[in-house]
Chains A and B, each alone.
Chain A
Amino acid sequence: MIVYRITNTLVGVSGLMLTRIDPRSPTPLYDQIAARIRVAVAAGELGPGDALPSVRQLAGRLRVNPATVVQAYRALEAEGFVEMRQGSGTFVREVEPGRRSQERTAEAERLVREMMAKAARLGLGTKDLVRAFKQEVGASG
């Protein structure tokens, strides 16, 4: 049961991040990796004690410099999301629910800011966006 859960989490995290890393983005790669993991923790996809992929695994999977993965894990450690244990790996720490919801809000805000910047480049205003958003939400809900 426990084994199943860990494997499942690893596949989930790597799958999630594999599709989201964008080397051409101005956001540093380590930042992108850290952000994906932060969201996974915030959303409860990763629970306390879950192991993150090893640096070697993740660097290979994402095809990034291992130093970049280490930098991401260090950043997460400094923020209190994970704990790096010498020789055994990196594990998710207990994160209080308040912090988790904060992180979700922050991520949602980031997405909206990105979208607004893109829209401005195309000459679209806030009204156009809000209208499209409502329609989209209506259609899927």
Chain B
Amino acid sequence: MSNVIETRSVRYHVGKSFEIRDLSLNVPAGSIYGFLGPNGSGKTTTIGLLMGLLRAHEGTITVLGQPVPGAAPRVLARTGFVPERPHLYPTLTVEEVLRYHAAFYTTWDWRRADELFGRFELDRSLRIGGLSKGETGKLMMLLALAQNPDLLVLDEPTDGLDPVVRRALVIALLDYVSQRDAAVFISSHLVHELERICDWVGVMDNGRLVAEMPMQTFKSGIKRLRVTGAPALVEDPPFVLLSRDTGETLGAGEVWVVRGWQTPMQQYFDGIGASLREVMDLDLEEGFVELLRTFRAPQA
């Protein structure tokens, strides 16, 4: 399967304070790719690079098989892009914005636009400047979907929106994807929102991509173990011991968080005279937090 987005060893810096380093992203065709990371980790900058709005200092970027920024206009013609901050003229009405936007896209689909209008309950006569945050969010999604894109790049599309609007946007997005085999690249720090819909995750921290894998691999590799009778010092475990918490568990043993867990590793505990009481799975948010913790302090 080919990738709809591929970057190789991309470097980009803003002054001396912030740098994207050695960025090699792979977004498989047909996937819904969740781009995670704390605020300020470089998600929006990366998206700017992918959309040709910023120019990388090193490395190559390919989107929909075309080089960026060289072929950015051709890429953007097939990409529905919802930027972090909407870029609509405040004096236009919703209807005018639609007509304006439609003129740029040969693939524009008025039927889909009308359908989404009904679904989102938007009023075409309103001025952009007077729209609420939720209405603006809906309009941005409508514009992106109505252009019938092969790729959707969404930068925090639901940030700051209420749960009802968030849900409406996600459903519209899924509905589009199930009708058309488009890929979605969606950045968010709202981990739970992505957990349901994404099949791939990439995690950014401090300008670097610290993990990229199928969602299921991400969720199943990190475990929380309940262990009793373990010596204070453990040597050469077959997994990566991320953290060890000896207190507060009321005689139920210690809690270890490990990475790279596989079932046969249970035998390791017999070897050190301890017993493994339970293996617990972590959800995406917990896995995300633990991953960042180890990445930032590898010796801990």
Interface residues of A (CB under 8 A from B): 23-26, 28-29, 55-56, 59-60, 62-69, 117, 120-121, 123
Instruction: Say yes or no: is B220 at the interface (Cβ < 8 Å to chain A).
Output: yes
B283 and A60 contacting across the interface, CB-CB below 8 Å:
no
Closest to A67 in B: B199
Q: State the Cβ distance, B36 to closest chain A Cβ, in Å.
A: 15
Pick the most buried of A25, A26, A121: most chain B CB atoms within 10 A of its CB.
Answer: A26
Residues A66 and B178 in contact, CB atoms below 8 Å apart: yes
Say whether B281 contacts A55, CB under 8 Å.
no
Which B residues, 170 to 187, have Cβ-Cβ distances below 8 Å to chain A? Answer: 170-171, 174-175, 177-179
Q: Is B216 an interface residue (CB 8 A)?
A: yes
Q: Are B197 and A60 in contact (CB under 8 A)?
A: no
Indicate if the CB atoms of B219 and A59 lie closer than 8 Å.
no
On chain B, the residues within 8 Å of A56 by CB distance are: 175, 178-179
**Given known A24-B195, A56-B179, contact A63–B281 (CB-CB < 8 A):** no
B278 CB–A CB distance under 8 Å: yes
Interface residue SS majority, chain B: helix
Contacts of A123 in B (CB 8 A): 250-252
* Nearest B residue to A62, CB-CB: B196
- Tell me the bound Cα distance from A117 to B224 in angstroms: 13
Distance in angstroms between the alpha carbons of A59 and B179 in the assembled complex: 11
Most chain A Cβ neighbours within 10 Å, of B196, B252, B282: B196
Tell whether, in the assembled complex, residue B178 and residue A59 are in contact, meaning their CB atoms are under 8 Å apart: yes
Q: From residue B223, how far is it (CB to closest CB) to chain A in Å? A: 9
Kindly state the separation between the CA atoms of A56 and B172 in the bound complex, as whole angstroms.
11
Provided the pairs A63-B167, A63-B174, A64-B174 are in contact, do residues A121 and B278 lie with their beta carbons within 8 angstroms?
Answer: yes
Chain B residues in 8 Å Cβ range of A64: 174, 196-197
State the Cβ distance, B170 to closest chain A Cβ, in Å. 6
Q: Which residues of chain A come closer than 8 Å to B174, judged between CB atoms?
A: 59-60, 63-66
Known contacts: A56-B178, A59-B174. The answer to whether A68 contacts B199 by CB under 8 A is: yes
Partner of A120, one of B216, B278, B285: B278
Would you call B276 an interface residue if the criterion is a C-beta within 8 Å of the partner chain's C-beta atoms? Answer: no
Q: How far is the CA of A59 from the CA of B197 in the complex (A)?
A: 9
- Residues of chain B within 8 A (CB-CB) of A24 are 192, 195, 283-285
Q: A64 CA to B280 CA in the complex, in Å?
A: 24
Q: Which residues of A contact B192 (CB under 8 A)?
A: 23-24
Q: Which residues of B contact A62 (CB under 8 A)?
A: 196
B195–A65 CB distance below 8 A: no
- Nearest B residue to A71, CB-CB: B199
* Nearest neighbor of B286 in chain A, beta-carbon distance: A24
Nearest CB on B from A77, distance (A): 18
CA of A63 to CA of B226, assembled, Å: 33
Please give me the residue from chain A that is nearest to B285 by CB atom.
Answer: A24
Distance between A101 CB and nearest chain B CB, rounded to angstroms: 30
Closest-CB distance, A121 to chain B (whole angstroms): 7
Q: A60-B171, A117-B278, A121-B252 are in contact. Are A29 and B30 (CB under 8 A)?
A: no
Which residues of B in the span 220-241 have a Cβ within 8 Å of any Cβ on A?
220, 226
Collect the chain A residues with CB atoms within 8 Å of residue B285's CB. Answer: 24
Interface contact A26-B178, CB-CB below 8 Å: no
Complex contact B252–A63 (CB within 8 A): no
C-alpha spacing A24/B195, complex, angstroms: 7
Q: Is B252 in contact with A65, judged by CB distance below 8 angstroms?
A: no
The answer to whether B32 has its CB under 8 Å from any CB of chain A is: yes
CA distance A55 to B179 in the complex (A): 9
8 cross-chain CB contacts under 8 A: A23-B195, A23-B283, A25-B283, A56-B178, A59-B174, A64-B197, A68-B199, A121-B280
